[in-house]
Amino acid sequence: DDWTIAKGWQLLVGARADRHSALARTVISPRAALMWSPIEALDVRLSAARGFRAPQLFDEDLHLSSVAGDVRIITQDPDLREESADSFMAGFEWKPVVGIGQGLLEVNAFDTRLRDLFHVVERDIPATPVFEMLKTNLGRARVHGVEVNLGWGIGDRLVLQGGFVEQRARFADPEPDFGSRDFFRTPQRLANVTVTVGEMAGFDAVAVQRYPEV
């Protein structure tokens, strides 16, 4: 439900109910967002939401487990619980008039708390010809950081935009295989630059994008 609770104030509240064959109960995921617009060019936002991932095996699990040609079987722990997350965000978006175009300054702080993370551990039975592994729950983790976006444009004819993200993704306890608290294959800094040109010299649109990892 979306309410305009006062001039310049909007409140959005909702909930989602999911039934999954791997779960014995219905999972309720609430969410809420509040936006304040003190002037036309400025929006300030707060939001909170909950999500989940049901116990299941993915193709990625099977691909990763078949490295070096070994036959590996992944089974799920009978007590495997769904992985859940609580996400919070606070930020603002400012779109002032700059010269002949419109500027953009957007800043968002985000914080996601994960519970009952999925994790695959070795549970080999020596008497069998294959290598058994078990998907179980690991514990908690947190991903948090700040995102900054800058932009300037003249309608749809020319848009220049760039962004930068500084984040941390860490387990609450050291990961059992390597003893690290940091997420693997997860950079701490990300950046992107986008240039979009359209409605010029007979072209409908020409876009050039670049997403470097810093």
Question: Using 50, 70 and 90 to split pLDDT, how confident is the model at 206?
Answer: very low
Highest mean pLDDT, choosing among 106-115, 188-197, 203-212: 106-115
> 2-50, pLDDT tens digit by residue?
999 899 999 999 999 999 888 888 999 999 999 999 999 999 999 999 9
Question: Using 50, 70 and 90 to split pLDDT, how confident is the model at 211?
Answer: low
> What six digits make up the tokens of 36?
């304040």
| Structural contact between residues 109 and 168, judged by C-beta atoms closer than 8 angstroms | no
Q: Enumerate the β-bridge partners of residue 161.
A: 151, 194
Question: Does pTM surpass 0.85?
Answer: no
The separation between CA 72 and the C-alpha centre of its own chain, rounded to angstroms, equals 30
> What six digits make up the tokens of 177?
């295989």
Q: Above 50 in pLDDT, residue 214?
A: no
> 171-190, pLDDT tens digit by residue?
999 988 888 999 988 899 99
21-35, 146-160, 179-193, 196-210: which has the minimum mean pLDDT? 196-210
Q: Above 80 in pLDDT, residue 57?
A: no
What is the secondary structure of the chain as a DSSP string? -EEEEETTEEEEEEEEEE--TT-SSPEEEEEEEEEEEEETTEEEEEEEEEEEE-S---HHHHHHHTGGG--EEEEE-TTPPPEEEEEEEEEEEE--EETTEEEEEEEEEEEEEEES-EEEEE---TTSSSEEEEEEE--EEEEEEEEEEEEEEETTTEEEEEEEEEEEEEESS--TTT---BPTT--SEEEEEEEEEEEETTEEEEEEEE----
